[in-house]
Amino acid sequence: MSPAVLSTRMSVLSRTLPTRILIVDDDELELALMHDRLTVAGFEVTQASNGAQALAILEEHWFPVVLTAGEMVPVDGIQLVERLRARGVTDTYLILLGSRDGSFNYERGYAAGVDDYLTKHAPDVEFLARIEAGLTLRHGEQLLLTLIIPLALLIGLSLLDVLPASQLGSASKVDWITPRILALAVMSS
């Protein structure tokens, strides 16, 4: 593969992630307030009124960040996170939102795969900083993969040589590689 082609592929893959966010809450007022806060800050916001609806949306669309209320029915925030992680969704930053008192079941949340916690009424500076941190982290992970995989393939390594064994769910599933990265690897070989 020519260096020009490789360079073009890498530039496409390393573009900044979209600022799309999914917010999930069964309290319509809280959902509207969060929507307004995020829209004013420049994010493209999609709403779900419960965990089940969020799962349906996430079947069709990818979001770099999901903010979910902890207490909802029929699927609460931690159950939503558990189901997403069980599906292999590791490239979405998941923030669990709690009430004003900030009470969280941290142990259960971290075990489920929650990336961060916030109270719903955190000051805008903290609220937006945590979201930006999540976006930055996910962008950095994707950028790192866009550099590692093409370089490894250029020197003749296969994906199995590059990926740690602990990241291989099965011979056919690598849950932390995005479809774009996998497409690059296939096209490069």
- Assigned CATH class of 17-138: alpha beta
pLDDT, position 169: 43
Residue type for position 54: A
Q: What are phi and psi for residue 50, nearest 5 degrees?
A: -165, 170
Give the pLDDT score at 159.
62
Whether pTM > 0.75 for this model: the answer is no
Distant-in-sequence, close-in-space partners of 132: CB < 8 Å, separation ≥ 6: none
Nearest CA-CA partner of 70 in 34, 104, 100, 94: 104
φ, ψ (nearest 5 deg) of residue 70: -80, -45
For residue 141, what pLDDT is reported? 73
Three-state DSSP class for residue 1: coil
Domain ranges, ordered by start, for the chain: 3-12+141-188, 17-138
Please report how many Cα atoms fall inside a 13 Å half-sphere around the Cα of residue 74, on the Cβ side: 3
Asked if 21 contacts 65 with a C-beta cutoff of 8 angstroms, the reply is yes
Q: Considering only CA atoms, give the Rg of the chain.
A: 18
pLDDT of residue 185: 54
* Beta carbons within 10 angstroms of residue 154's beta carbon: 12
pLDDT along the chain (189 residues), means of 10: 47 56 95 94 94 93 92 91 90 87 77 91 89 83 72 69 48 45 54
Question: What DSSP character marks residue 42?
Answer: T
pLDDT of residue 113: 92
The pairing of beta strand 173-174 with beta strand 168-170? antiparallel
CA distances 99 to 15, 72, 129, Å, are 35, 12, 19
What is the per-residue pLDDT across 145-155, written as a single tens digit (0 to 9) for each? 677 777 777 77
Q: How far apart are the first and last CA of the chain?
A: 9
Strand partners, 23: 47, 67
